[in-house]
Amino acid sequence: MSELRYLENVTSLKLNRDACVGCGMCLNVCPHAVFALDGGKAILRDRNRCMECGACAGNCPTDALSVKAGVGCASAIIYGWLTGKEPSCDCGGGSDCC
């Protein structure tokens, strides 16, 4: 799965390790193996693999995860792939934009 990467450092995914209880639900539902367990709590193994689908946050029993599902550059890129149109995430159009 190492080839499943999006733009570097743009995902809206956030993890509050203090709130994590180590249930592993995020590992079970994440389609791109973004998470791992370390010391009985979740860690972001590779944040840049996140496609902002929201499965992790939607299934976290303690709200330790947040992500703006369906927004941002990752979503724009996926939409572009599906429609054949140029991606646009309204991030200002700079060099870091999709």
pLDDT in tens, the chain (98 residues): 446 666 677 788 999 999 999 999 999 999 889 999 999 999 999 998 888 889 999 999 999 999 987 666 666 777 778 888 877 665 555 544 55
pLDDT recorded at residue 88:
66
Phi first, then psi: what are they for 73, rounded to 5°?
A: -65, -40
The answer to pTM > 0.95 is: no
66: helix, coil or strand? Answer: strand
pLDDT recorded at residue 71:
62
**Ranges of each domain in the chain:** 14-83
Contacts of 19 (CB under 8 A, 6+ apart): 62, 63, 64
**Which CATH fold would you assign to the domain 14-83?**
Alpha-Beta Plaits (3.30.70)
pLDDT recorded at residue 1:
45
> How far, in Å, are 36, 37, 87 from residue 84 at the CA level?
34, 37, 9
